[in-house]
Structure 1
Amino acid sequence: MAVSRRLFVTAAAAVAASGGAAPALAAPGGTDLTPAASGGADPAAAGISESPGYRIPVSPDDTEADLVRKASRVRPTARQIAWQNLERTAFLHFGVNTFTGLEWGTGDEDPDVFQPVGLDTDQWARSLRDGGFRLAILTVKHHDGFVLYPSRYSRHTVASSSWLGGQGDVLRAFADSMRRHGIKVGVYISPADENQYLHGVYANGSARSGRTVPELVEGDDRTPTTTYTLDATDYGAHMLNQLYEVLTEYGPVDEVWFDGAQGRIPPDKVEKYDWDSWYALVRALAPDASIAVSGPDVRWVGNEGGLAREDEWSVVPVAEKDYGRTDYALSYDAADMGSRDALVAARPVADHLQWWPAECDVSIRDGWFYHADQQPKSVDQLTDIYFRSVGRNSVLLLNIPPDTQGLLPAADVTRLRQFRERIDRELPEDLARGARTTTGRGVFTVDLGKEREVDRIRLAEDVRHGQQIEHFVIEAHDGDGWRQVTEAGAVGASRILLLPAPVRARRWRVRVTASRATAHIAAFRLYRSDV
C-alpha cells in the first residue's frame, strides 16, 4: 500500500540545509588566526544572537556592520562542502543537436536522427577520470525536449529512435559507466522544453494545483511505496514525473543541474517554473545531491568563459523569486558579489545572506554540442581557466561534447590528459607538507628547513567556519627580514596565486590583514612549478 506524502513547498522547506559538515581541504591543522586588522569582531565573543546557518535573514535597516557580522555567521551545508571539494567537474552535451548541428533544437526533430552507433560511455568515463574529473553531468534533456532515456511521459525520446531497436538508454549506460570508474553522477534536465510546447503542455496557462507524483500511466508496472503531492502546473507536473524517474531508477545522483532558460515561444506565453516543488522532490529523493545552477546549492558565476571574479565570495546576498527560486540580489554579472560594498549595495533588495558558491562553466570547444569543424581549446587556455576558476574559490565545469558516433573525440581526450598533466606540473609536490609551522596573531608561518624556490602558492580556509578573510599578504624571510611577495583579497575554499618569478626562501608566512571574524586556515601550500 502506497504512502502519500504532501510536501509543503515553502521556500524554507525546499532549500532546507542538511545537518553536519564534512572536512574541507586537508590541513596544516585548521589553525585559528585572529586577524591583526580585522575590521570586524568575532560574533561569538561579542555575544551576537544569530546562530550560524546556511541562510541568515537581512533587512534594509541593517547597517554595514550588521551585514558583515551576519555574513561572518553564514556556513555551508555538508553537500556544498562536498561539491566544492570536487574542483573539476565535466558537462556532456549530447542529444539530437549532436546530429542536427544545432545548439538549440526545435522540438519537432525526427527521433530517428539520433543514431550514436558507436556509443561507449566507458570511454567517456575513462577519459574524464584520466583528465582529473570527479563528477560528470549528462544533458538528460536539453531545450529541444529530447530525452536520453525511455521516459513514460514523452514520445520524444531514445525509445522512438531505431537506434538499438528502440531499446537504447543513454542515461543508464552513462550512470553505470561513471560509477564503475569512480566518477559521481550528475543530471541536467532542461526547464525549457520545445517539444512539450508543441504538444500543448509547456506554457499552456494552466494553474498550479496539487499533483500526485509519480503519476502512473497506462501499462505502468511501478508500485511506488511513497507518493508525493506537490503544487505544479501541467508542465511543472511533467517535470516532476521525469525527475522522479531519473532519481529513483538510475542509482544515486550527486548533482541536479537546472538552468533558467525559457523556451523560444511567443512573448505572451511564459511558463513560470515550479521551483519550490522541483527542489522539494529532489531533496526528498536525493537528499545529498547539490542543486545547481538555478538552485539553492550552487550558483552560476555569470559568464560561459569559465572565469571567476578576482575575489569570489561564497557568501552572497540573495532574493527569493518565482516560487522559491534562489536568485541574485545583485545582477549575476556584477563585478563584485560579496564584498562589504556589495553587501551594502544589495541591502534594499536582498532578503538573505546565503552560502551560494560559484560554478564556472565553459566548453572545451566553441559550441556546447559537437560540431566537426571545431577544435578543442589549447592546454594554455585550459590552464588559465583552471587558475581563474578553481584558483578563485570556484568549481570548474568543463563541457566535453560526445560526437555523432557516441564517443568523446580523440583530440578532446588527448587535450584532457594534457590538461591534467599540465596542472600536475604547475602544482607538483607541496613543499610545505610536513614542515614546521607556528601560529601568531593573524600570522601562520612555515619553516621549510632549507631555502626552496617557490612560484605557486595555494591557500584555503576551513569553510566549516565560514568565509572570513578579506585581505592577506604572503611574505618570505630573506635573511635580513620579512618582505612581501604577493597579496590578495578573498580566499574561501581555494585561492591559488602565481608568482611572476620564483622566490627563494626557507621561511614563509601568510599574514591575515583583514577578516570578518576569526580566520580558520585549512591549507597553506607552496610549490615550485615544473613548466
Structure 2
Amino acid sequence: MTYFVSVNNSTITVDCYDSRVDDIFVPVTDAYNSADNEPAPVHPVPSQRQLLWQETEFYAFFHFGMNTFTNSEWGNGGEAESQFAPKKLPNPKQWLTAVKAAGMKGGIAVVKHHDGFCLWPTATTTHSVVNAGNENGRNTNIPEAFASAARELGMKYGFYVSPWDLNSKYWGDGTSDYVNKVFLPQCLELAQYGSDQFEMWFDGATGGDHAGYYGGANKTRTIPNAATYYDIPNLRDTVHAIAPNCVMWGVGDEARWIGNEAGWAGETNWSMGSGESGNMNAWKWKAGESDAKATDKGWFWHSGESPKTANTLFKIYLETVGRNATLILNFPPDQNGELPSADVTVLQQLGTLINNRLTNDKAKTAKSITASTTRTAGASRNYSIDNVTDDNKDTYWATDDNTLSASITLEWDEEQSLYYVMLMEYIKLGQRVKSFTIETSLDGDTWTKRASGSTTTIGYKRIVPLGGSTSSYTAVKAKYLRITINDARGCPTLHTLSVF
C-alpha cells in the first residue's frame, strides 16, 4: 500500500514496507569482534533506536489541547472547534526552555488526545486548529513550533497522537476506514515534521465504556485488538522509514509502560517483559517508561493547580531514572499556551537539586579503584576497571566468560561523605546483573552493607541511595566502598561507576 501525504504544501509518497526499513533493524551488537575478545551478547539486546531512546533518560510531557479550555481530562469528541481559543499564541519554546533547566533532554507534545482535536492543520479532519475560535488558535501548529524549538535548544522531541478518536465517525465502525483514512495518514503527517523525532507516543485506550461523539452517533464503541486494528507492523515500518530513530511507544511495542502513573519503577527492573519489574526471561527488549504528573490535579491544566515540590520530583527521578526506566514528567501549559510561573520555578529548583546531588563524582577522586577480576584484553580493546570512570560510554569493564561474580573496591585518602552510587551496564550486549551488594568501610576491614534487599538489577542506569531511602538525603561516612556483583546472566559489563 502507498500513501500520498501532503504537509506544508508539498506531497511525499511513502511505501508502507519501504526497503529502507531493512537497514533500520540491524542490532547494535553487529559490531561484535571476536579478535577484540568482546563478550558475546546476552539476548535480547536493544536496537540502535531503543538505545538512543533510553539515553534520553528524562524528558517532559506537555498535555495541551481542547481539554485545556473545557476543564476536562477526557472530552467526548463533540466539542465545538471554536472552544479552542488560546489567549496567546502557544509558545513551545517557553515549555522546552523551562524543562531544560531541570536537566530534561527533550519532550513529547500532545498533538491529538482522545477527543480527536488536532493541534496542526491536518488534511484528515476538520476537527482541528483550522476551525479554532480565535486567531491565536487558527495560527497554532504545535508539531511545527515544537520541533523547531527543540532543534534550536538542542533537545529531543516527539509527539503523542491518540489512536482512539472519539470525534471520528470511522473509529470502531467495523471497517478499516479509520486506520486508512485518518490514523495512518495523521501519523505520516506528523512524521514529516522531522526525521529526527525520538519517540511517537500511542496511548493504549480502546474505547471501553466511555461514550463518544463518533460523527454524531453518540454511542459507546470499542475494538477487540489494538495491534491488529491499527495495523501496527505497517505503521511502525512506515514511520521508521521516515524517522529511523523514532521509538514507537505503547501499542507501537518498542518501549513499555512501567505499569503505574505514580512515578516509580521496581527496584528490580528488567528491560524485558511488562510492568514495574519486567521479566528476566522475556524474549523481547522493551525498556520501561514511567509517565507521571508534576502537578496536583490532572494531565491537562486546571485552574488552581500547583506543582509538586522539587524534593518530591527528585524522589520520582531517583525511583524511575535511577531504577532503569526513563521518566516522562508532565507539565501542562495553561490557556495562555505557556507553563505557569510556579511550574517554571519548581523546574529550576529541581535542576539545582539534581546538579548539586548528582554531578560531583567522587569516584574520579578515589585513590584507587580495583577489580577482583578483569577480562583479557583483545587486539584493540581492553576491559580495564579504569574504563568505568573515563566518561566514555563505549568503553567498559568486564570479566572473563563464565565468571558471573566479581567485586570492585574504591579507596580514598580521607574519609568521605557518600550519598549515592550510580552504576550503568553496557546494555548494547544485553542486561546481565541479577544481584549485587554495596558495602562501605572506614578501615578496609570492617564492612557495613548498604541498601540491603534493594540491589538486584542494574540495567541502563541504577542510582542507589546509600542512606537506604529515596525520600531523604542522608550521608554515609566511608573511606572504602565495595560493590560485589553476586550473580549475572552472563559475564558482567559496566561502562560507568559514579559515587556522589
What interval of TM-score do these two structures reach, taking the shorter chain for normalisation?
Answer: 0.7 to 0.9
Query: Secondary structure at 2:418's aligned position in 1?
Result: strand
TM-score normalised by structure 1 residue count: 0.75
Alignment of 1:520 onto 2:486? no
User: Any conservation in 2 of the 1:469–1:490 contact (CA below 8 Å)?
Assistant: yes
Partners in 1 of 2:23 and 2:340 — Cα distance? 38
Residues 372 and 467 of structure 1: CA distance in aligned 2, closer, same or farther (over 3 Å):
same
Structure-2 residue corresponding to 1:286 = 243
Give 1:193's match in structure 2, choosing from 165, 169, 176. 165
Alignment of 1:270 onto 2:226? no
Partners in 2 of 1:269 and 1:355 — Cα distance? 29
Give 1:494's match in structure 2, choosing from 461, 469, 493. 461
Partners in 2 of 1:494 and 1:4 — Cα distance? 37
User: Any conservation in 1 of the 2:143–2:193 contact (CA below 8 Å)?
Assistant: no
User: Any conservation in 2 of the 1:127–1:413 contact (CA below 8 Å)?
Assistant: yes
> Counterparts of 1:13-28 in structure 2 under 5 Å?
17-20=25-28
Partners in 2 of 1:422 and 1:18 — Cα distance? 39
Residues 375 and 6 of structure 1: CA distance in aligned 2, closer, same or farther (over 3 Å):
closer
Instruction: After TM superposition, give the deviation of residue 162 of structure 1 in Å.
Output: 4.0
Instruction: After TM superposition, give the deviation of residue 399 of structure 1 in Å.
Output: 0.5
Partners in 2 of 1:153 and 1:186 — Cα distance? 20
Instruction: After TM superposition, give the deviation of residue 508 of structure 1 in Å.
Output: 2.0
Structure-2 residue corresponding to 1:121 = 92
Instruction: After TM superposition, give the deviation of residue 425 of structure 1 in Å.
Output: 2.2
Partners in 1 of 2:94 and 2:189 — Cα distance? 26
> Counterparts of 1:263-412 in structure 2 under 5 Å?
263=207, 264-265=210-211, 269-270=222-223, 272-316=229-273, 328=274, 332=275, 336-339=277-280, 343=281, 353-365=283-295, 366-412=297-343
Residues 177 and 353 of structure 1: CA distance in aligned 2, closer, same or farther (over 3 Å):
same
Instruction: After TM superposition, give the deviation of residue 369 of structure 1 in Å.
Output: 0.2
Residues 268 and 235 of structure 1: CA distance in aligned 2, closer, same or farther (over 3 Å):
same
Instruction: After TM superposition, give the deviation of residue 83 of structure 1 in Å.
Output: 1.4
Alignment of 1:440 onto 2:372? yes
Give 1:484's match in structure 2, choosing from 448, 457, 465. 448
User: Any conservation in 2 of the 1:84–1:493 contact (CA below 8 Å)?
Assistant: yes
Partners in 2 of 1:194 and 1:268 — Cα distance? 9
Alignment of 1:172 onto 2:172? no
Query: Secondary structure at 1:124's aligned position in 2?
Result: helix
Alignment of 1:154 onto 2:95? no
Instruction: After TM superposition, give the deviation of residue 16 of structure 1 in Å.
Output: 6.7
Partners in 1 of 2:109 and 2:65 — Cα distance? 10
Question: Which shows bigger deviation, 93-102 or 14-23?
Answer: 14-23
Give 2:183's match in structure 1, choosing from 235, 239, 243. 239
Residues 100 and 460 of structure 1: CA distance in aligned 2, closer, same or farther (over 3 Å):
same
Partners in 1 of 2:57 and 2:371 — Cα distance? 28
Query: Secondary structure at 2:28's aligned position in 1?
Result: coil
Give 1:203's match in structure 2, choosing from 169, 172, 181. 172
Residues 502 and 162 of structure 1: CA distance in aligned 2, closer, same or farther (over 3 Å):
closer
Instruction: After TM superposition, give the deviation of residue 20 of structure 1 in Å.
Output: 3.0
Residues 306 and 269 of structure 1: CA distance in aligned 2, closer, same or farther (over 3 Å):
closer
Give 2:482's match in structure 1, choosing from 509, 517, 530. 509
Deviations 1:272-325 (A, max 9, x none): 322222112111111111111222321000001111011111133xxxxxxxxx
Structure-2 residue corresponding to 1:7 = 17
User: Any conservation in 2 of the 1:14–1:279 contact (CA below 8 Å)?
Assistant: no
Residues 409 and 14 of structure 1: CA distance in aligned 2, closer, same or farther (over 3 Å):
farther
Query: Secondary structure at 1:75's aligned position in 2?
Result: coil
User: Any conservation in 1 of the 2:28–2:428 contact (CA below 8 Å)?
Assistant: no
Query: Secondary structure at 1:85's aligned position in 2?
Result: helix
Query: Secondary structure at 1:473's aligned position in 2?
Result: strand
Query: Secondary structure at 2:239's aligned position in 1?
Result: helix
User: Any conservation in 1 of the 2:117–2:128 contact (CA below 8 Å)?
Assistant: yes
User: Any conservation in 1 of the 2:324–2:462 contact (CA below 8 Å)?
Assistant: yes
Q: Which runs of 5+ in 2 are unaligned?
A: 1-10, 32-36, 212-218, 374-405, 468-473
Partners in 2 of 1:338 and 1:483 — Cα distance? 32
Question: Which shows bigger deviation, 488-497 or 504-513?
Answer: 504-513
User: Any conservation in 2 of the 1:148–1:157 contact (CA below 8 Å)?
Assistant: yes
TM-score normalised by structure 2 residue count: 0.79
Residues 81 and 21 of structure 1: CA distance in aligned 2, closer, same or farther (over 3 Å):
farther
Partners in 2 of 1:237 and 1:277 — Cα distance? 14
Which aligned runs of 4 or more in structure 1 are off by greater than 4 angstroms? 1-4, 13-16, 265-269
Question: Which shows bigger deviation, 179-188 or 113-122?
Answer: 113-122
Residues 139 and 83 of structure 1: CA distance in aligned 2, closer, same or farther (over 3 Å):
same
> Counterparts of 1:16-55 in structure 2 under 5 Å?
17-20=25-28, 52=41
Identity %: 31
Partners in 2 of 1:237 and 1:354 — Cα distance? 31
Structure-1 residue corresponding to 2:422 = 458
Residues 311 and 338 of structure 1: CA distance in aligned 2, closer, same or farther (over 3 Å):
same
Deviations 1:88-131 (A, max 9, x none): 11000000100000000111111111122322222112111112
User: Any conservation in 2 of the 1:21–1:81 contact (CA below 8 Å)?
Assistant: no
Structure-2 residue corresponding to 1:216 = none
Deviations 1:353-391 (A, max 9, x none): 111111010111130000012211112211111111011
Residues 419 and 522 of structure 1: CA distance in aligned 2, closer, same or farther (over 3 Å):
same
User: Any conservation in 2 of the 1:236–1:274 contact (CA below 8 Å)?
Assistant: no
Partners in 2 of 1:286 and 1:482 — Cα distance? 54
Residues 497 and 395 of structure 1: CA distance in aligned 2, closer, same or farther (over 3 Å):
same
Residues 357 and 190 of structure 1: CA distance in aligned 2, closer, same or farther (over 3 Å):
same
Q: Answer 1 or 2: which has greater strand percent.
A: 1
Counterpart of 1:298, as a letter, is A
Query: Secondary structure at 1:193's aligned position in 2?
Result: coil
Aligned residues: 426
User: Any conservation in 2 of the 1:14–1:276 contact (CA below 8 Å)?
Assistant: no
Partners in 1 of 2:15 and 2:359 — Cα distance? 52
Cα RMSD (Å): 2.7
User: Any conservation in 1 of the 2:93–2:149 contact (CA below 8 Å)?
Assistant: yes
Query: Secondary structure at 1:432's aligned position in 2?
Result: helix
User: Any conservation in 2 of the 1:124–1:408 contact (CA below 8 Å)?
Assistant: yes
